[in-house]
A and B are shown apart, each in its own frame.
Chain A
Amino acid sequence: MQLNVKTSTDRKTLEKVAEERLKDFEVLRTQERYTAAIYLGVYAVECLLKARICKTLQLEKLPVTYRSHDLMALLLHSGVHQNIRSNPEVFTSLKKLSDLWNPAAEDRSVRYIHDPKRYGERTAREVSDWLTHQSKGVATWLQKQL
């Protein structure tokens, strides 16, 4: 394992990418491109967790070893997995997003779904809450941890 090798992606870039993907989530949701919207929305959470790992490790660039899509594994290494417990609503939102991103069978992940209508308006609206709701949104909460 290449523990001391860094990616070329720095913390500020990860934060900015997350911000942009959240905007894309809203645009695509409005255009009823729900699958792509959800894909980008949850990807923003992955970026925020990776940015938080950089902060915890006091590194500008993300180590290669954290090139993972597993949200809960990233949480475990982010330094905030204990803090999130004091916000049960946020923690539950993350678990719900994790089912979309890291289901029990990889093929069912939103990352590999090509059908634009696989998810409906209702799911996209719920995902919006899980991401950016003032009190239970994961992205909202993670942005405050950076």
Chain B
Amino acid sequence: MASKTALRKTIREIENALKLFVEDHGPHHIYVFESSSPYLRALVVSDMFEKWEVATRQNKLWDHLGKTVTADTLNTLWGVHPYTWKEYDEDFEQSSSSPDPHEVSDKD
């Protein structure tokens, strides 16, 4: 059970770091989920991404994470997927009531 506790701690660390990134820019949603266990991915929804191209979003997110989470946590986090609210609604809200990245990852 120690590993589950460690996983929860890592998820909380990532959530806090991402929250720090978006919290001053209006409503946001952060969801950290297991990808190929024990590796994690994160979905971040915020309109702060509106002004940035895809590459800029990734660069800024990973720069921030590199300064705010430990190296071990960074190694565990295998992907961050930034969305504006409009993109999120287009991709998730129309097909289901909530995102299910586990299901999406199965389709890859």
Contacts and interface: CB of A to CB of B under 8 A. Distances in A.
A binds B: yes
Interface residues of B, number: 32
A95 interface: yes
Given A105-B92, A106-B108, A72 B79 contact: yes
Contacts of B81: 99, 103-104
A16 interface: no
Given A98-B79, A99-B79, A106-B108, A119 B43 contact: no
Interface in A57-82: 68-70, 72-73, 76
B104 A105 contact: yes
A72 B79 CA distance: 9
A104 B59 CA distance: 18
A31 B46 CA distance: 33
Given A72-B35, A99-B58, A106-B107, A85 B91 contact: no
Interface stretch (B2-10, B13-21, B48-56): B48-56
Contacts of A119: 53-55
Interface of A: 68-70, 72-73, 76, 85, 88, 91-92, 95-96, 98-100, 102-108, 119-120, 122-123, 125-127
24 contacts: A70-B108, A76-B36, A85-B75, A88-B71, A88-B74, A92-B62, A95-B62, A96-B55, A96-B58, A96-B62, A99-B80, A102-B79, A102-B108, A103-B81, A104-B81, A105-B91, A105-B92, A106-B104, A107-B91, A120-B53, A123-B54, A125-B55, A126-B58, A127-B55
